[in-house]
Copies of this chain bind each other. A is one copy, B any other.
Amino acid sequence: MPDDQPLPAPLLDRLAALLGPRGLLTDPADLEPHLADWRALYRGRTPCVVRPGSVAELAEAVRLCAAAGTPLVPQGGNTSMVGGATPDEGGRQVVVSLARLNRIRDIDPLDMTMTAEAGLVLKAAQDAAAGAGCLFPLSLGAEGTATVGGVLSTNAGGNTTVRYGNARDLMLGLEVVLPDGQVWNGLRRLRKDNTGYALRHLFVGAEGTLGFITAAVLRLFPRARESEVGFCAVRDEEAALALFRRFRDRDEGAVRAFEYMSGEGVGFYAKHIEGGNVPLPGHAHYVLVDLASSRPPEGGNTGLRALLEAVLEEAMEAGEVLDAAIGESEAQRAALWRIREEHPEAQKREGASVKNDVSVPVSKTPELIRRSSEACARLIPGIRPVPFGHLGDGNIHMNLEQPVGMDGAAFLARSHDIMETVNEVVRDLGGSFSAEHGIGRLKTDMMADWRGGAELDLMQRIKAAVDPQGLMNPGKVLP
């Protein structure tokens, strides 16, 4: 170990004795994948990576590190958008990977619960639920890598929040290794339990700053028996919202996802993504609506298709929907979803872009899109707004693409101004500067401004009460 990574030798020896060679990585090549996440916003250093093989091993490792005053950085799938799981540059922070705690301890289709360990990959959790005839509905781009512990620690959202809520809403109980190495077993699978403070909700969304989530009781749902996907060109942002309302009013439980895309973003998809066909090219605003139902279709009558067609017809008559395509097969539905899913990649290939993960009350989404697009255009003439995302829950990725011909680096140098410009509108609309990605390291300096006063004061008092040494994921969430 290099001299400039000061982990006390006795601690390292004790960790090695506790964890064995599979549980403690010190070889620089083994450390490498743990030093930065996939966005590579930050690159840190670590003396070693702890990979416990059991909760008891993790608890003992945490006790040892707490006694030595050594800070710990939890890592799940390492897919943070905000540097939430990257160690700092100081070289003292030990990375703790939960990857080996990846068992499904229990799955019960009658209770509709699954008890899963933190390192289980989200996709594997979805698959296990499906194998038991159920649905675990959390779904997001990184689901093949992100883990149960990670999505809970960040209260991940994704595409299905409009129907199933965020990760928080899908969790009934937790097991947590606390900063002093105590294990809290709160793995209750109860729908009602009013026995003191709801500690589980404190750890969900705390981004590992209060302890390590090691396992969770997750809620399952009946699986979909039919689904439909419609891809619609809409008149404007208001028409997109009106269309959402039409679906919700007709069958609130059927709307699994409702996604907005700008014409420019859809154009980037057609231009840059292989096989990127767009069924209704040339419009300024699009919506993808995904309907699903667990009701058995009675007598061959597909209820959702009738719903989809009826609502689209009404909305066309009202001038809200200009044109629409309906996925006629699983393959077609997947192809329509791909237009939405490839938005980040298409934007990347078009050039430099600045990402904003913001939310507003659902009713304010049209105003958010319009006003922040206009404000950014005043800031940098020629800038290309490519907003897309979860209109049904008010979370729009208000991204901005560089002007044609502008130098990418020069554009990115304006990132802060662009984000500020968007956030000014967000603030005015009663929104949030981080909807689903969290704070991590990227946005800690915004906490005082947005959540300052009584709120931040309370957070800091709670942090001090739960983690008095300040060893849990230091430098994240709180300024």
Residues of A at the B interface (CB closer than 8 Å) are: 108, 110-113, 154-155, 157, 161-162, 166, 168-169, 178, 182-184, 186, 188-199, 201-202, 204-206, 210, 221-222, 241, 245, 248-253, 294-296, 298, 306, 359-363, 390, 393-395, 430-439, 443, 447, 450-451, 453-459, 461-466, 477-478
Complex CA distance for A157 and B462, rounded to whole angstroms? 27
15 A-B pairs with CB atoms under 8 Å apart are A182-B454, A191-B359, A191-B362, A191-B393, A192-B394, A192-B436, A193-B359, A194-B438, A197-B202, A221-B252, A249-B294, A250-B296, A298-B306, A462-B462, A464-B465
Residue in B191, B193, B202 whose beta carbon sits within 8 Å of that of A434 in the complex: B193
Q: Are B191 and A162 in contact (CB under 8 A)?
A: yes
Q: Are A435 and B196 in contact (CB under 8 A)?
A: no
Residue in B197, B435, B451 whose beta carbon sits within 8 Å of that of A462 in the complex: B197
Q: Are A198 and B194 in contact (CB under 8 A)?
A: no
| B residues in contact with A455, CB < 8 Å | 184, 186, 196, 199
Q: Are B458 and A361 in contact (CB under 8 A)?
A: no
Complex CA distance for A458 and B202, rounded to whole angstroms? 11
| B residues in contact with A201, CB < 8 Å | 198, 201-202
Max chain B C-beta neighbours (<10 A), residue from A195, A196, A360: A196
Beta-carbon nearest neighbor of A446 in chain B: B195
Q: Determine how close the nearest CB of chain B comes to the CB of A434; give it in whole angstroms.
A: 5
Q: Determine how close the nearest CB of chain B comes to the CB of A316; give it in whole angstroms.
A: 19
Complex CA distance for A450 and B155, rounded to whole angstroms? 28
Complex CA distance for A113 and B298, rounded to whole angstroms? 34
Q: Are A432 and B196 in contact (CB under 8 A)?
A: no
| B residues in contact with A447, CB < 8 Å | 195-196
Q: Are B154 and A192 in contact (CB under 8 A)?
A: no
| B residues in contact with A453, CB < 8 Å | 182, 184
Q: Are B198 and A205 in contact (CB under 8 A)?
A: yes
Q: Are B197 and A454 in contact (CB under 8 A)?
A: no
Q: Determine how close the nearest CB of chain B comes to the CB of A397; give it in whole angstroms.
A: 11
Q: Determine how close the nearest CB of chain B comes to the CB of A427; give it in whole angstroms.
A: 11
| B residues in contact with A205, CB < 8 Å | 194, 196-198
Q: Are A194 and B296 in contact (CB under 8 A)?
A: no
Q: Known A191-B362, A453-B182; judge A169-B166 contact (CB<8 A).
A: no
Complex CA distance for A112 and B249, rounded to whole angstroms? 11
Residue in B110, B202, B363 whose beta carbon sits within 8 Å of that of A202 in the complex: B202
